[in-house]
Amino acid sequence: MVLLPRPTPGPVPSAGPSSSLSRCPRIPSPGGTLSPLPGDTSVLAGLYGPAEVKGSRESPDGATVEVLLRPKVGLPGVAERSREQLLRRTFEAVLLGSLHPRTSITVVLQVLSDAGSLLACCLNAACMGLLDAGLPLSSLFCGVTCALDPHGDIILDPTARQEQEAHAVLTFAIDSAQRKVLATTTRGSCSAEEMQRCLVAAQRAADTIFQFYRDCVQRKYSKS
């Protein structure tokens, strides 16, 4: 069974290089509401930069990317650190950082509610943040989570409960240029053949998400 992914991130306020948080128009979520619906996964992405960078972190041939992942409650722990690393390296791969040497680009991701497929939602929120900030990118990317249920069927964009029942959960970051895999992380165990099936499903779902990005941006710029 293949389900279409829920159009993921809710509101994405961002402060781009030339806009402050208050001036920047928000990309409205599909329903037009700005508060996350209960039961949905939502992540707020804020993007700051290119801005000044601290001396020790300054890189002469590219921008320094920093990612802060804030959990819904409590302080970020080891799991958040590991996700931050994955997110940061994904952004670095698509961001044309060499155009902004000696600067810092900070992406702050605040989890508002987690109802499954959290990492995919973080990736989507961050990509829309980067898009809204108008930073030069080599391609867009999106996150897709697939769960393999005990019968071996693929569930796209699983809920927290489906993730728990699944024998494997795979998250992919897919780029928009050639639908290649930017990042992947897995939970549980699966066969190589099952992973390839999930990848194909994720690549197909990516088309839907990129179309969603397009619609959002179009709506934003068609308003006055």
Partner 1 sequence: VGAPRPQRSPRREGPGLLGPCCGAAPLRTVEPLEYYRRFLKENCRPDGRELGEFRATTVNIGSITTADGSALVKLGNTTVICGVKAELAAPALDSANKGYIVPNVELPSLCSTRFRSGPPGEEAQAASQFIADVIENSQIIAKEDLCIADGKLAWVLYCDIICLDYDGNILDASTFALLAALKNVQLPSVTINEETGLSEVNLKQKNPLVIRKHPVATSFAIFDDTLLIVDPTAEEEDLATGTVTVVTDEDDRLCSVHKPGGSPLTGAKLQDCISRAITRHKEVKKLIDKVIKSIKPK
Residue ranges in contact with partner 1 by CB under 8 A: 78-79, 81-82, 84-93, 170, 173, 175, 177-178, 180-192, 195-196, 199-200, 203
Compute the least distance from the CB of residue 161 to partner 1, in Å: 17
CA distance 31 to 23: 22
Compute the least distance from the CB of residue 143 to partner 1, in Å: 12
Looking at the Cβ atoms of 15 and 170, the one nearer to partner 1 is 170
For 164, counting Cβ atoms within 10 Å of its Cβ (0-12 exposed, 13-18 middle, 19+ buried), the class is exposed
CA distance 163 to 151: 14
Looking at the Cβ atoms of 18 and 189, the one nearer to partner 1 is 189
Instruction: State the DSSP string of 24-56.
Output: SPPBPPTTS--SPPTTS-EEEEEEEEEE---GG
CA distance 82 to 127: 19
Q: Taking a C-beta distance cutoff of 8 angstroms, is the pair 181, 198 a contact?
A: no
Compute the least distance from the CB of residue 138 to partner 1, in Å: 10
Looking at the Cβ atoms of 25 and 76, the one nearer to partner 1 is 76
Compute the least distance from the CB of residue 168 to partner 1, in Å: 8
Looking at the Cβ atoms of 113 and 203, the one nearer to partner 1 is 203
